[in-house]
Amino acid sequence: MIYKDVINELNKFANKKKAEQLARFFKTGKGEYGEGDIFLGIVVPEQRLVAKQYRELPFKETQKLLNSKFHEHRLTALLILTYKFIKADEAMQEEIVKLYLSNTKRINNWDLIDLSSVEILGEYILKHPEYKKVLFKFSKSESLWERRISIISTFMLIRNRQFDDSLKIAETLLLDKEDLIQKAVGWMLREIGKRDLGVEEEFLEKYHRQMPRTMLRYAIEKFSPEKRQYYMTR
């Protein structure tokens, strides 16, 4: 089982017209966040099928996929790692996390992060809280993608009603100028509110006047019209 087997399987789903659509959707133009990324036109469900088929792909071969210039090759590699992680023992899980952390430059679009960081980093941090320091380091990174990893990975903690680290990272990212970070922070605040509205509102009462409007709108998306108006105008 080698990485070229995965590529050959993925090529069966390639679609030129879809590739053009995805390139526009993921902002690959000059000066945009996904500048230079190349798509084959393969949708996520198809990549999941291939990833499940090749979940036993060796790490060395998975790294070759991560090195690819094609977006779908990198995402499929990450999906393989998420499926591998589920059934891995402690030693292998640690190896997967280390591989993940050594490849953040290749995890360079929001979907790559959102479909892998929670299931790998977030899950691992539940059992190994000492790794939280990685997220706090990433939250101060110059890399947009590492900053997004820092907040999105805490979704697993939120699911387990552990909110403190998400809130601390949200504070760090509060004035971030990148739209993709503002949306991610607002999303995580909204997820906290689904589980404990009081915790979210306590944070909003303290910071809503400072927040970028995009972040605030995402955070209050599920509030009543009256409460949304309160936070947007106060």
Asked whether residue 1 carries a pLDDT value surpassing 80, the answer given is no
C-alpha separations of 34 from 8, 23, 110 in Å? 25, 8, 9
Of 87, 120, 181, 75, nearest in space to 134 by CA: 120
Contact 165, 157 (CB under 8 A): yes
Beta-carbon contacts of residue 129 (< 8 Å; ≥ 6 apart): none
**Distance between CA atoms of 62 and 74, rounded to whole angstroms?**
9
CA distances from 98 to 18, 48, 131, 134 (A): 33, 22, 11, 11
pLDDT at 107: 97
Residue 168: predicted pLDDT: 98
pLDDT digits (tens, 9 = 90+) for 148-201: 999 999 999 999 999 999 999 999 999 999 999 999 999 999 999 999 999 999
Side chain identity at residue 66, one-letter code: L
Fold category of 1-115 in CATH = Leucine-rich Repeat Variant (1.25.10)
pLDDT (mean) for 54-58: 96
User: 38 by DSSP, 3-state: which?
Assistant: strand
User: 3-class DSSP state for residue 93?
Assistant: helix
For residue 151, the number of C-alpha atoms closer than 13 Å in the C-beta half-sphere is 31
DSSP string, 56-71: T--HHHHHHHHT-SBH
**Residue 234, pLDDT score:** 79
- In the chain, CATH 1.25.10.90 covers 1-115, 129-234
Which pLDDT value is given to residue 113? Answer: 98
Architecture of the 129-234 domain:
Alpha Horseshoe (1.25)
pLDDT of residue 111: 97
Contacts 24+ apart (CB under 8 A), 41-46: 41/13, 41/14, 41/15, 41/16, 41/17, 42/10, 42/13, 42/14, 42/15, 42/18, 42/72, 43/13, 43/18, 44/75, 44/111, 44/115, 46/10, 46/13
